[in-house]
Amino acid sequence: MSEEVKKSKHELDPNSAKAKLNKIIVDHYAGVQAAKDRGEKIGWCASNFPQEIFQTLGIKVCYPENQAAAIAARGAGQRMCEIAESDGYSNDICAYARISLAYMKVKDAPEQNMPQPDFLLCCNNICNCMIKWYENIAKELNIPLILIDIPFNPDYEVSDAQVAYVKGQFLAAIKQLEEITGKKWSDEKFKEVMAISNRTSRAWLEATSYTKYQPSPLNGFDLLNHMAVAVCARGTIEAAEAFETLTREYKKAVEEGTSTFRAEEKYRIMFEGIACWPHLRTTATGLKSRGINMVATIYADAFGFIYNDFDGLIKAYCNVPNAMNLEHARDVRKAIVKKTNAEGLLVHTNRSCKLWSGFMYEMSRQIGEDCNVPVISFDGDQADPRNFSEAQYDTRVQGLMEIMETNKGGK
Amino acid sequence: MEKINQLLEEFRNIAENPSKQLEKFLKQGKKVIACAPVYTPEEIIHSMGLIPMGVWGADMEIKEAKSYFPAFICSIAQSILEQGQKGYFDGISAIVIPSLCDSLKCLGENWKYAVPNIPFIPMTYPQNRKNEVGIEFTKASYKRVIKDLERITGQKFSEESLAKSNKIYNEHNEVMRQISDVLVDYPFITASQRNDIFKSAYLMEKENHTSLVKSLIEELKKMPKEENKKIKVITSGILADSKNLLEIFEENNLQIVGDDIAHESRQYRVDIKNDGNALDGLALKFSEMDNCSVLFDVDKKRADYIVNMAKVKNAAGVLMIMTKFCDPEEFDYAIIKKACEEAKIPCIPIEVDRQMVNYEQAKTIVQTFVENI
Ligand code: SF4
Ligand code: SF4
């Protein structure tokens, strides 16, 4: 689950949100590398691992999912996947995992390098595939792995039993990390980190909410890029400020009637799933050329962790998109479709992600019926370029557009 | 010998006719609960006077499930749903689906809409299952299953009754471990017959299965051990019940002398300690389970477990029966392969799929393995 930030081709205003967001990513990788060079222990971390833990401890980590997305977006998905496959990994395995396992082995990918880990932080609230992937790295590199297990919740609400279980692991993880790194936990600092995280999340949610305007001041694909910051820097003031800047820019754009969607916004859709990073341009162009703007994505909400206290924090991590049952996940999406006035739903059936795609047919059917919007899906993959057909994508998007067009005529 | 053949015939009849078994139970007025892979707390179901019946899908073409699952979900999950949609389970009171892999999570969610006439009962296991909070969570999940079962079937749960069922299950575990060992000395029993013994366990009341297996062990022990000319192998994977595949093993003179198959021996490795509260005992059992692709295994002990089994059993190689699209197994394979290489034990992956009709590739792989020994 993640994204990349493109290198700016031309000079950006350093006070612009985009420049700030780009800088956070660059600084993030540099920061982890610097810590490693200083001899500190650094980790590889799952995108949805409670970052409050290591932020509080002052420990630096980097994110294999972000890295895999960046590598795939920069054209090396297949090369890396094939390295993993030559080690016996099936090409049916999530491509992020394959890229990451390949990177662990070759330790170099000019598309996006990062330091090697001294420990691993895994959280399976997005998938159990994550557990297997991190187990293998831990074994191959012979380094400790801390797992916070957040089981898929078959019920609508998070149970007390689940909160107690996750809380227990949270505390155990702190202890383990203290032992590994020699750093000390501080409740004061924890409060501070929670406050910043909430501020960042609120700013992120607010910025992403601007797609509700018609026309939207942003091309929804922008969010897929900015998400990397929501993943890796949620607990930092810089991220909060960058998203606040982004919000101001969107506000201004609404007032001035401008948009980063460089076409006339004729149709508004929700895009379901992770981007096809290797084919980002093709997928974006297929929409833009038809005047289709993506104004809704579950990602916007996925990284907005708002909570008031420790229990709230635990629950927030139990309620990430891939940990919720069908009804809950459906209702969250329905609210997004309604809020943004999306007129159609384009579903990426992502070969990498069994959990995300495994009950999406039924869920998207229900969303389509309940919100009265057409649903069309296409086959793709977030990082393995081989699992996408441009022709199929184009036909499907055209089909979706035609139904939306008919619906408009009828309205 | 006649008695042995009779028993083997009985195992086969049951293994091959799950519908008949279901019908029989329903006719007796019993309520049946379907139990999806990989681990279901059957003891609880049994203790409530219900019949737990394992459902691991079937070799069939997937049609209706296609409107719920994309093609890249394993055929075990797909065919369980397909069977549900086609009415194979009609008459069953509920299905328990543990969410130990991503595809099983999806099976539960899809089930609610694809098979609305059979209620779905989720079983959520912790992956950090060994510490106190993990054990508590297992217990809480069991309690939730009990509540659902009570509501749906009207049957009641009691600790005393669970304690009895725990004993019955422990005894069954024991005979299943025994039979796997005993069969090593009787190579005339085919891979397919061995599978019937394991498969029928899911379709019978455990006490009855125990006594059948016990009889078989007794009868076998009366026979002189024959000279073993077969090639000894270990199997590993989620499921290895395809008759076509097992026939290929036969044709190539292979004998399964031990297995790490989820559908077979993985079920029977750990017993319940019956010294305290019965539900605690059951939760503790789960906490002690290991060496399985769907259970968090930070040290990847499973790889050593397999290597060790191959050595102890003097096996010529390990056959990895890879269910297509099963990512837990696919991740483990890379590590197991390496461990086997280091131990100089041939490790042969054979991809299987419940929709497979052409076994030529499997045949070639097995033949090549045999030629290279
Ligand atoms: S399986 Fe899905 S959720 Fe898990 S890492 Fe891959 S893409 Fe992300
Ligand atoms: S075969 Fe593998 S993927 Fe399929 S249900 Fe079993 S464990 Fe899950």
User: What's the pLDDT tens digit per position in B188-234?
Assistant: 999 999 999 999 999 999 999 999 999 999 999 999 887 888 999 99
The confidence score (pLDDT) of residue A8 equals: 45
**Residue B340, number of CB atoms within 10 A of its CB:** 21
Measured between alpha carbons, how far is A201 from B9 in angstroms, rounded to an integer? Answer: 64
Residues of A in contact with B298 (CB under 8 A): 135, 138, 145, 147
**Complex-level ipTM:** 0.97
The confidence score (pLDDT) of residue B157 equals: 98
Residue B24 has pLDDT above 70, yes or no: yes
CB distance A274 to A1 below 8 Å:
yes
Pick the closest to residue B176 from B136, B210, B204 (CA basis): B210
Mean pLDDT within B116-143: 98
Tell me the DSSP string of A1-39. -----PPPSSPPPTTSHHHHHHHHHHHHHHHHHHHHHTT
What residue type is assigned to position B45 of the chain?
I
What are the residues whose beta carbons fall under 8 Å from the beta carbon of A30, sequence distance 6 or more? none
The confidence score (pLDDT) of residue B65 equals: 98
pLDDT tens column, A122-170: 999 999 999 999 999 999 999 999 999 999 999 999 999 999 999 999 9
Tell me the DSSP string of A277-290. GGGHHHHHHHHHTT
Name the residue at shortest CA distance from atom 2 of ligand 2.
Answer: B326
Pick the closest to residue A381 from A126, A78, A128, A82 (CA basis): A78
Percent with pLDDT over 90 in chain A: 91
**Residue B328, number of CB atoms within 10 A of its CB:** 25
CA distance to A47, B36, B37, B56, B291, per residue, from B76 (Å): 30, 10, 9, 6, 21
Rg (CA), chain A: 20
Q: Does any ligand 1 atom lie closer than 6 A to the CB of residue A95?
A: no
Give the containing element (helix H, strand E) for A386.
Answer: none
Measured in degrees and rounded to the nearest 5, phi and psi for residue A116 equal -75, 145
CB distance A332 to A325 below 8 Å:
no
Question: Mean pLDDT across chain A, nearest whole number?
Answer: 94
CA of A356 to the centre of ligand 2 (A): 16
CB distance A126 to A47 below 8 Å:
yes
- What does the DSSP 8-state code read for residue B66? G
Longest CA–CA separation in chain A, Å: 66
Residue B104 has pLDDT above 80, yes or no: yes
Q: Where are the alpha helices (DSSP H) in B99-131?
A: 102-114
For A327, counting Cβ atoms within 10 Å of its Cβ (0-12 exposed, 13-18 middle, 19+ buried), the class is: middle
Q: Does any ligand 1 atom lie closer than 6 A to the CB of residue A131?
A: no
Q: Name the band, by pLDDT with cuts 50, 70 and 90, for residue A228.
A: confident
Measured between alpha carbons, how far is B262 from B322 in angstroms, rounded to an integer? Answer: 12
pLDDT tens column, A62-71: 999 999 999 9
What are the residues whose beta carbons fall under 8 Å from the beta carbon of B147, sequence distance 6 or more? none
Mean pLDDT within A248-264: 96
CA distance A358 to chain B (A): 5
Measured between alpha carbons, how far is A19 from A49 in angstroms, rounded to an integer? Answer: 27
Measured between alpha carbons, how far is A280 from A410 in angstroms, rounded to an integer? Answer: 33
User: Which residue is it, tokens 């094939």?
Assistant: A82
Q: Does any ligand 1 atom lie closer than 6 A to the CB of residue A352?
A: yes
What are the residues whose beta carbons fall under 8 Å from the beta carbon of A76, sequence distance 6 or more? A109, A111
Q: Name the band, by pLDDT with cuts 50, 70 and 90, for residue B18.
A: very high
CB distance B212 to B254 below 8 Å:
no
* Domain residue spans of chain A: 13-182
The answer to whether the CB atoms of A354 and B127 lie below 8 A apart is no
pTM over 0.90: yes
The confidence score (pLDDT) of residue A303 equals: 80
User: Which residue is it, tokens 């009265």?
Assistant: A372
Task: Give the HSE-up count for residue A256: Cα atoms under 13 Å, Cβ half-sphere.
Answer: 10
A·B CB contacts under 8 A: 156
Dihedral of CA atoms A276, A279, A280, A283 in degrees, nearest 10, equals: -90
Measured between alpha carbons, how far is B340 from B260 in angstroms, rounded to an integer? Answer: 14
CB distance A381 to A92 below 8 Å:
no
The answer to whether the CB atoms of A164 and B133 lie below 8 A apart is yes
Task: Give the HSE-up count for residue A337: Cα atoms under 13 Å, Cβ half-sphere.
Answer: 25
pLDDT tens column, A278-307: 999 999 999 999 999 999 999 877 888 889
Q: Name the band, by pLDDT with cuts 50, 70 and 90, for residue A10.
A: low
CA distance B22 to chain A (A): 27
Name the residue at shortest CA distance from atom 2 of ligand 1.
Answer: A353
Residues facing residue B258 across a β-bridge: B234
CB distance B359 to B248 below 8 Å:
yes
Question: Mean pLDDT across chain B, nearest whole number?
Answer: 97
Name the residue at shortest CA distance from atom 1 of ligand 1.
Answer: A353
Burial A215-233 (b: 16+ CB within 10 A, else e): bbbbbbbbbbbbbbbbbbb
Tokens describing residue B292: 């399985």
Closest alpha carbon within chain A to B110? A359
Q: Are strands B231-237 and B254-261 parallel, antiparallel or unpaired?
A: parallel
Measured between alpha carbons, how far is A147 from B298 in angstroms, rounded to an integer? Answer: 9
Measured between alpha carbons, how far is B56 from B43 in angstroms, rounded to an integer? Answer: 18
Note whether A85 contacts B: Cβ–Cβ < 8 A.
no
CA of A127 to the centre of ligand 2 (A): 14
Note whether A357 contacts B: Cβ–Cβ < 8 A.
yes
Tokens describing residue A193: 């980190």
Pick the closest to residue B250 from B189, B310, B322, B200 (CA basis): B189
The confidence score (pLDDT) of residue B46 equals: 98
Residue A11 has pLDDT above 80, yes or no: no
Q: Name the band, by pLDDT with cuts 50, 70 and 90, for residue B135.
A: very high
Q: Does any ligand 1 atom lie closer than 6 A to the CB of residue A356?
A: yes
CB distance A98 to A105 below 8 Å:
no
Q: Are strands A375-380 and A344-350 parallel, antiparallel or unpaired?
A: parallel
The confidence score (pLDDT) of residue B15 equals: 98
The confidence score (pLDDT) of residue A410 equals: 57
Rg (CA), chain B: 20
What are the residues whose beta carbons fall under 8 Å from the beta carbon of B29, sequence distance 6 or more? none
CA distance B73 to chain A (A): 7
Q: Name the band, by pLDDT with cuts 50, 70 and 90, for residue B134.
A: very high
CA distance to A215, B198, B209, B262, per residue, from B18 (Å): 59, 13, 14, 19
Helix, coil or strand: residue B270: coil
**Residue B238, number of CB atoms within 10 A of its CB:** 25
CB distance A164 to A153 below 8 Å:
no
Mean pLDDT within A351-375: 98
Measured between alpha carbons, how far is A178 from A185 in angstroms, rounded to an integer? Answer: 7
CB distance B2 to B228 below 8 Å:
no
pLDDT tens column, B313-346: 999 999 999 999 999 999 999 999 999 999 999 9
Percent with pLDDT over 70 in chain B: 100
User: Which CATH fold topology does A13-182 show?
Assistant: Rossmann fold (3.40.50)
Q: Name the band, by pLDDT with cuts 50, 70 and 90, for residue B77.
A: very high
The confidence score (pLDDT) of residue B91 equals: 98
The confidence score (pLDDT) of residue A4 equals: 43
Would the CA dihedral through A226, A277, A303, A209 be positive or negative?
positive
CB distance A138 to B298 below 8 Å:
yes
> CA geometry: angle at B47 spanning B275 and B123, to 5°?
90
Mutate to test the interface with B, among A83, A359, A382 (most CBs of B within 10 A): A359
Q: Which residue among A89, A165, A379 places its CB closest to the CB of B334?
A: A89
Measured between alpha carbons, how far is B80 from B55 in angstroms, rounded to an integer? Answer: 7
